[in-house]
Copies of this chain bind each other. A is one copy, B any other.
Amino acid sequence: MQSGWSVPDSDGTAFTPMVVLELAPDTNEEAIKWLLSRIRDREQNGGVELLLEQTLTGGHDGQKGNPNVFLVGSTLERLLHGAEDVGLFKEFNDGSMRAFTYTNKDNFKDFQGDGDSLLSVAECQYIIKHKLDTLRAKDEANVPGYPKAKLYPGKSIIRRLQSKGILLQVFPLHDKEELKRLSFSWYKKVKFSSSSSFQPLNDIRRYFGEGLALYFGFLEYFTFAMLPMALIGIPYYLWDWEDYDKYVLFAVFNLVWSTVFLEVWKRSSASLAYSWGTLSRKKAFEEPRAGFHGVLGFNPVTGRKEPVYPNSKRQLKIYLLSVPFVLLCLYLSFYIMMIYFDMEHWALALYEVEPNFWTGLFLFVPSIIYAVVIEVLNLLYRYAAEFLTDWENHRLESSYQNHLVLKVLVFNFFNCFASLFYIAFVMQDMVLLRQSLATLLITSQILNQIMEAFLPYWLQRRRNKKAHKRLVKVMGDRELPLPEQAQLESDMSTYLGTFDDYLEQFLLFGYVSLFSCVYPLAAVLVVLNNITEVYSDAFKMCHVFKRPFAEPASNIGVWQVDIDSHAIVSKGIDIYSPLLLFKMNNDIIFVLMSSDLQLAFETMSVIAVVTNCALIGLSPQMKAYFLESDTQLILLVVCVEHILLAFKFILAFVIPDVPKQIQIKLARLEFESLEVLKKKKILETSESPNTDK
């Protein structure tokens, strides 16, 4: 629980505020009163029994603040019940992870005394958010005072208010003490602990939730996984600078690495997720996303009246506008690529006319410009894609994400790698390939670091210098009254989720696995980048952005295919019940399901196999062996490639996603709850399946 101050609720009971609810400054009084009463109302009456308090500050030092900022908290009792509703998994006395239930709360490890210690602040905030989201309309036809803001019985009120712009934002409060401790152990002190991880992943998880913790875990894993490549890369770079022959070995290494890399990650992320209790967590029915609009109709699943939007219409939008637009963008990016090649030619010509230091330096200018352009294009396209996907009007957040991620990824991939493929296989100019790979990589990394952390930091600084000064003081030791802090944080910019961070890592993974064999230093650069990345990301999470809500995640989600979700099953190590196996499968799928692009990383590594084989085939070294006939060379390369691909799939199929120990633990859990069910069947007792024994 939060160690901060407590605030008296209107009815006097003191509580610890955790979440901030900001309504539009000009919100109709009636609506406010109605909303507050609905939130405070008892559950029997369809309320969510949360505690609320208005920040009574009218802004600070004359600068007019928004009066309609509310601090939301909850009693511990309610939070514990909420933990059961959202299906939190906690460590049981016997060391296994189990779905928390209020009735046998005392059997959970961290539940001492009044259970203060059980829930992390992040979890409390997540529960409160869940409660707010599940505050449903009853018989109200519309939001009081807003005849236009229709309400449908059983639908979330909060989402409605958001989509109508009455509710500006809901965000969790930072906890200054914890934040200070976290940021210190995270990036202030450089520690080489003997622990499994260099970052305090568990603290990160406690503060920011599983999703982010897992991202940082991936970042670290990825960096370490690249170390061997980097180490091999350095001597290559130092001694074979002008010798493009020796890279066959490196390409082969690439092949194996990019496959093993992902398989191992799956397993370690499963272990992390299990220890965090997110591996087996179930998800509730998904609400329509706030932005969704449609005409009144019947939901075929729930049978309830609610806005529906014909899928056919959405499909039309997608195929008649979105797809053409994406293609157009691809063409544009291709066109720019061609311009870049022209520039290259000019530069080269210039250099050949008078080869001196400056013209030699000038050789790099086109690539640098191109790299910048690429980054700009990616950014612009990102906004366009978001706009388009919004306009497609998807009903669920998950399917919205699917389409957004798909759009963005296709373009980013093409935009970043097309030129390299062109140079490698059409122009077959390895010198240029190496040079432009280097410049692309370095420039994009620098730009990314700027765009990601420093730019937003600087922007915010500019946005409210005064506030920022105070913020610094806040982050410093001085106490600041809570309302002030709420106002301050409400001005911080919002963290839009791990998508962009993963996207960056995805592209880096591409650079390394696809072409690093011609430019072995790539791995080194990526390693260096990621080390700074950890710090800049950590910094931005702590000081630049609003605190994000913890989202349960047991896996890097959309970014990795669960190509062997059945492998666990097929391995079917005997002791594990089929039942368990579906369970694990459906959890694994659950965490992967938010996108068509589960395949992103796997696909990349498949493309890497093909590319590296082709590069090997093109290597002068190989050509030297097959002087007499290209045909044989090509056939050989093709055969090798097919064998490698087959091997890759078999490997992915054979390595189980979830380590054996965890499979056993999950199986035991499954078994026990089945036993309980059986007992119940016979005794006709009245418990819920979750209360194991």
> What residues of B have a CB within 8 angstroms of the CB of A288 in the complex?
574
The docked-state distance in angstroms from the alpha carbon of A44 to that of B683 is 10
Task: Say which residue of B284, B574, B593, B677 sits within 8 Å of A396 (CB atoms).
Answer: B574
B interface footprint on A564-599 (CB within 8 Å = 1, 0 otherwise):
011001101111111101110111011011011011
Q: Which of B566, B573, B579, B688 contacts A592 (CB 8 A)?
A: B566
Q: Is A443 an interface residue (CB 8 A)?
A: no
Interface check A394, CB cutoff 8 A: yes
Is A681 an interface residue when CB atoms closer than 8 A count as contact?
Answer: yes
Q: Which of chain B's residues have a CB closer than 8 A to the CB of A593? A: 566, 569-570, 572, 578, 581-582
Binds B, one of A64-72, A193-201, A627-635: A627-635
Which of A171-179, A297-305, A501-509, A548-556 forms part of the interface with chain B? A297-305
Q: Mark A181-202, 1 if CB is under 8 A from B, else 0.
A: 0000000000000000000000
**Residue with the greatest number of chain B CB neighbours at <10 A, chosen from A303, A578, A674:** A578
Given the complex of chains A and B, what is the CA–CA distance between A681 and B44 in angstroms? 12
CB distance from A410 to the nearest CB of B (A): 12
A590, B572: Cα distance in complex, Å: 12
CB distance from A162 to the nearest CB of B (A): 18
Q: Do A596 and B303 touch (CB < 8 A)?
A: no
Binds B, one of A207-215, A416-424, A474-482, A663-671: A663-671
Decide: B566 and A286 in contact? CB cutoff 8 A: no
Contact of A402 with B570 at beta-carbon distance under 8 Å, contacts A301-B671, A596-B653 already known = yes
Give the residues from 281 to 322 in chain A that come closer than 8 angstroms, CB to CB, to chain B. 282-286, 288, 299-303, 311
The answer to whether the Cβ of A395 comes within 8 Å of any Cβ in the partner chain is yes
A285 touches B582 (CB 8 A): no
- A642 and B610: CB pair below 8 A? yes
In the complex, what distance in Å separates the CA atom of A668 from the CA atom of B653?
33
A671 near B285 with CB under 8 A, answer yes
A619 within 8 A of B: no
Q: Are B635 and A399 in contact, with the CB atoms below 8 A? A: no
Q: Within the assembled complex, what's the spacing in Å between the Cα atoms of A576 and B674? A: 27
Q: Which residues of B contact A686 (CB under 8 A)?
A: 684-686
**Are B635 and A574 in contact, with the CB atoms below 8 A?**
no
Chain A binding site: helix, strand, loop or mixed by DSSP?
helix
Measured CB to CB, the closest approach of chain B to A413, in angstroms, equals 13
Per the 8 Å Cβ criterion, residues 641-693 of A in contact with B are 642, 653, 664, 667-668, 671, 674, 677, 680-682, 684-686, 688-689
The interface centre, meaning the residue of A577, A583, A681 with most chain B CB atoms within 10 A of its CB, is A577
The smallest beta-carbon distance between A403 and chain B, in angstroms, is 10
Asked if residues B681 and A398 are in contact (CB atoms below 8 Å), the reply is no
**Shortest distance in angstroms between A488's beta carbon and chain B's nearest beta carbon?**
36
A566-B593, A630-B631, A664-B300 known; A674 and B577 CB under 8 Å?
Answer: no
Nearest B residue to A642 by beta-carbon distance?
A: B610
Chain B minimum-CB-distance residue to A575:
B301
Shortest Cβ gap from A498 to chain B (Å): 19
Whether B565 pairs with A566 at a CB distance below 8 angstroms is yes
How far, in whole Å, are A634 and B598 apart by their CA atoms in the complex?
A: 33
Contact present for B586 and A570 (CB under 8 Å) = no
- A589 B574 Cβ-Cβ under 8 A: no
Beta-carbon contact of B586 and A399 below 8 Å: no
Whether the pair B301, A667 counts as a contact (CB closer than 8 A) is yes
Identity of the chain B residue whose Cβ is nearest the Cβ of A85 in the assembled complex: B681
A-B contact pairs, 13 of them (CB 8 A): A283-B579, A285-B577, A299-B575, A396-B574, A402-B570, A566-B593, A570-B598, A582-B590, A582-B593, A585-B586, A596-B653, A638-B638, A689-B689
In the A-B complex, list the 4 residue pairs whose CB atoms are closest, starting with the nearest.
A686-B686, A582-B586, A395-B574, A586-B586
- Where the two chains meet, the residues of A that have a C-beta atom closer than 8 Å to any C-beta of B are 43-44, 85, 282-286, 288, 299-303, 311, 394-396, 398-399, 402, 561-562, 565-566, 569-570, 572-579, 581-583, 585-587, 589-590, 592-593, 595-596, 598-599, 610, 630-631, 634-635, 638, 642, 653, 664, 667-668, 671, 674, 677, 680-682, 684-686, 688-689
Given contacts A311-B574, A570-B596, 18 further A-B contacts (CB under 8 A): A85-B681, A285-B577, A285-B578, A286-B577, A299-B575, A300-B668, A301-B667, A303-B668, A395-B575, A398-B578, A566-B589, A570-B593, A570-B598, A578-B590, A582-B586, A596-B653, A680-B688, A689-B689
